[in-house]
Structure 1
Amino acid sequence: MRIDVEAYPAAEVRELIDRGLDVYNEAKGGPLHASNFWVIARDEDGGVQAGLKAHCYFGWMFVDWLWVSPDVRGGGVGSALLNAAETEARARGCIGAHLQTYSFQAPDFYQKHGYQRFGQIDDYPPGHACIWLNKRF
C-alpha cells in the first residue's frame, strides 16, 4: 500500500473519506443528524461585521469560528451571534455546545456565557494555551 501526503486531494477522495467516517460513526453512535449553519451580523449598509460558523451532529453544536470586526467589538455583537447560534442549535435538537479557543482569543467571553473548560493544552501556540469549553442547554 502506498501512503501519500496531499495538500489538496480531489473532491471525490475527500467525499469518500468523509462518508466512510460518517458511516462508521453512525454505526457506533447513532444518526449524526449533521447540519451546518452560519450566523452573520451585517451593518445598515449590508456590510458583514461579524460571523459565526457552526455545525450540529450527535445532538451537539460545535462552534467552528466566531469573528467580530474590530470596529464593533465590545458592543454585544459577539454575544448576539452566540445567542442566535444557541437558539438555532436548540431548534435543531441539540442538547449543548462545545468549542475550541485560544488563551489570547475569547475564553473569558465564553465562560461569561455559561461555557465551562474541559480541556487545555499549554504552549499551543508557544506561550499560550488551546482551550476547550462546553455548555449544556
Structure 2
Amino acid sequence: MMTRITLEDQPAPAARDAVWNGLRAFNEAHSGPGSFDSTPLSVVLRDDSGAPLGGLVGRSYSGWLYVELFHIPAEHRRAGLGREMLTMAEEEAARRGCIGVRLETYSFQAPGFYALMGYSVVGRLQDCPPGHTRYSLAKRLDGAPLEAP
C-alpha cells in the first residue's frame, strides 16, 4: 500500500475524523473509555431583549473544563460580570465532576483578572503574537495543588 502526505488548508471532515478518532482511541487506551467525551458549556451575557452580548464558551472533558472563549464588551467590564460568569462556569464544572479549569489568555487581555480568581500560570509562550505573551492558566477546583511537590 502506498501512502502520501498532503498539505490542506481545509481538510475534509473525513480527514479530521480520521485524526480525531485515532488520537481519541490512543488517549482512551491510556486514560479509560469515555475520558475524552466532551460536553459543551456556555455562560451568556444578554441585553434586556435577550440578545447575546458576550460570554464564556467551553467544554468539559478529561475531568477538566476548558474555557475556549471568554469575552465581555468593554462597556460591561469592571462591573463584576466576569467574576460572576467565571464563577458560574466553575460551579457547573464542579457539578460535572471536573477537578479543575484551564484556559489561555494574552498579556494584553486579562491575566491579572484570572490571577485574582485563583488561576496560576502553568505555561507561557513569548512573542505570540510578536511583542506579547500567551499564557496557559489553570485552577484546581478540588483543592489539590496544580503540581506535585
* 2:48 counterpart (35, 44, 47): 44
AA aligned to 2:62 is F
In the other structure, the counterpart of 1:117 is: 121
Structure 2 Cα separation of the partners of residues 133 and 23 of structure 1? 27
Q: Tell me the TM-score normalised to structure 1 length.
A: 0.93
Deviations 1:26-84 (A, max 9, x none): 11122224222211111111121221111111101111110111221121222122111
Q: Show structure 1 runs of 4+ deviating over 6 A.
A: none
* 1:130 counterpart (122, 129, 134): 134
Structure 2 Cα separation of the partners of residues 108 and 35 of structure 1? 28
Structure 2 Cα separation of the partners of residues 125 and 9 of structure 1? 25
Unaligned runs of 5+ residues in structure 1 are: none
* 1:80 counterpart (81, 84, 88): 84
Structure 2 Cα separation of the partners of residues 124 and 8 of structure 1? 23
In the other structure, the counterpart of 2:146 is: none
Secondary structure (helix, strand or coil) at the match of 1:46 reads coil
Deviations 1:63-109 (A, max 9, x none): 11101112211212221221111111111110111111110011111
In the other structure, the counterpart of 1:58 is: 62
Structure 1 Cα separation of the partners of residues 20 and 40 of structure 2? 15
Unaligned runs of 5+ residues in structure 2 are: 142-149
CA contact (8 A) 1:50 1:77 kept: no
Q: Tell me the TM-score normalised to structure 2 length.
A: 0.86
Secondary structure (helix, strand or coil) at the match of 2:85 reads helix
Question: What count of residue pairs does the alignment treat as equivalent?
Answer: 137
Structure 2 Cα separation of the partners of residues 117 and 32 of structure 1? 24
